Structure 1
Amino acid sequence: MGSLAVTGWMPMSATCRSADRVRGFTLLELLVVLALVAAIAAVVLPGLANMQSAWSRRVALQDIQEQLQSLGLRVRNDGRELTIDADGASRAELLQVPTGWLIVAEPPVRYLANGVCLGGSLRIIHDGLPRDVRLDPPFCAPKGLP
């Protein structure tokens, strides 16, 4: 009874506390994980910023395209001619361009009061980058936009 082999009990040294130890992460492990997350964020975040600006540019182009597609009908409903020239649209309320964008035409593009477009080409400019759009009469559906 007094023997250790019979009872299966083994005394532990005073320096080994593995049975009492609380499980968790060491400070070094946490620092390594934080460094990895920071490295991944440094690679991904610039791409997200570019993706956001590309998305907003695409949304603005789609808005311009929708406005151009319905411009003849809106001119007809208004009953007055519209001219788009080097200064933009003669009546800005019919062609509202997003902030930072510019639509010009040289030679001018005319929409008659009955909504018929005489055709031509437009230049859509954003951040100094032009995009040319062709308008074929009589409806002038824009060609060259996404």
Structure 2
Amino acid sequence: MERISDKPLDLDTLLEETANPESGALVVFSGTVRNHHEGRSVKAISYTVYKPLAERVLAEIEQEAVSRFPIQSCRIVHRIGELAVGEDSVLVVVRSAHRGDAFDAARFAIDTLKQRAPVWKNEVYADGSSRYQDGVPLEGQ
């Protein structure tokens, strides 16, 4: 499965890809488009990326999670295009022998994605206006 997709994200495929009999813990994080931000009513969010770099960065984060934490697997996928309220924009799946390690690795993966992945988020508001969200400078790129 590609890490960047313009199609709805498929959790079942990620669960199949990461299945491992050594894993006693499974943590799934889903970033979902919410209907508000900073007091404004949000209608949708449009995500754009530079796909070759984004694919590489997500793969690097997955590998770093496996290297830093005692886990069997980490998979990250991010959606692009315009997403309605309630749609998943990102999924992180981590499997490990123990729950603490899985939670720690999942938090590392999503927090690191926010710091390093070249993903731009343009919120579309109920009044018809829109605004790109402030990000953080990309590290190491």
More strand by share: 2
The alignment's TM-score, normalised by the length of structure 2, stands at: 0.27
More helix by share: 1
The alignment's TM-score, normalised by the length of structure 1, stands at: 0.27
Say which one has the larger Rg: 1
Higher RCO (CA < 8 A, seq sep 6+): 2
